[in-house]
Amino acid sequence: MSDETTEGGVREAAVTRETAETDIEVTLALDGDGEATVDTGVGFFDHMLTAFAKHGLFDLTVQCDGDLHIDDHHTVEDVAIAIGQAFDAALGEKRGIVRYADRRVPLDEAVADVVVDVSGRPYFDFDGAFSQPSVGEFTSDMAAHFARSLAMNAGLTLHAGVTGENAHHEVEALFKTLARALDDATRVDERRAGDTPSTKGEL
């Protein structure tokens, strides 16, 4: 369930998601200051979502009560679904956005890259692997699954990759790169004067 406010230049949305596995509330403002209030029960995931908001200049709140007695999978996946839905709702008809972005971000020895098209056609491809299986209570491979679930629910064509030697650095570089690419792609290009960036007339 979501509600959105995109009129008058305000691009924000609120999403709630309740299943037998998770209970989630998300708010997202695309044109924010990078402020985040996050509580998922997974410390490193909270850190990554806070970095995602900070480097994307999104205002983000996430409250998640998940089945962490099992593992972190449902929590990370369902939060990504909710954030993806919030992006889609906040963008509305996507009028005037830049649409495409290509970013590369290092963190010490690690480098992540993201190419994104806010296309309305969900697709995800990931190239790389994480050097350790987990960071704290966060399963490293869930970083790629987070990006996939976000792409599928925000309607993104997203290609991502990572290299490095330390999973903490690799995961953090990926979240920061994703944030910077989404900030670039969702910005309003004043030259478009509200036109949809597609020859089809809609995204």
pLDDT in tens, 74-102: 999 999 999 999 999 999 999 999 999 99
Residue 41 lies inside a defined structural domain of this protein: yes
**Residue 15 pLDDT more than 90?**
yes
Range of the domain at 117: 2-192
What is the distance, to the nearest Å, from the Cα of residue 66 to the centroid of all Cα atoms in its chain? 19
CATH number, residue 153: 3.30.230.40
Residue 203 has a pLDDT of: 86
Which candidate, 5, 22, 24, 2, places its Cα nearest to that of 14? 2
Residue 200 lies inside a defined structural domain of this protein: no
Residue 136 lies inside a defined structural domain of this protein: yes
Residue 76 lies inside a defined structural domain of this protein: yes
| In contact, 170 and 140? CB cutoff 8 Å | yes
Residue 203 lies inside a defined structural domain of this protein: no
Residue 112 lies inside a defined structural domain of this protein: yes
pLDDT in tens, 22-34: 999 999 999 999 9
**Residue 150 pLDDT more than 80?**
yes
Which candidate, 167, 118, 116, 109, places its Cα nearest to that of 143? 167
Residue 202 lies inside a defined structural domain of this protein: no
Q: Can you read off the two tokens belonging to residue 45?
A: 């995931």
Query: Can you tell me the distance from the alpha carbon of 20 to that of 63, in angstroms, rounded to the nearest whole number?
Result: 16
How many structural domains is the chain composed of?
Answer: 1
Q: Average per-residue pLDDT in the chain?
A: 95
Residue 73 lies inside a defined structural domain of this protein: yes
If you average pLDDT over residues 111-126, what whole number do you get?
98
Provide the pairing of β-strand 157-163 with 123-128: parallel
Q: Is 130 helix (H, G, I), strand (E, B) or coil?
A: coil
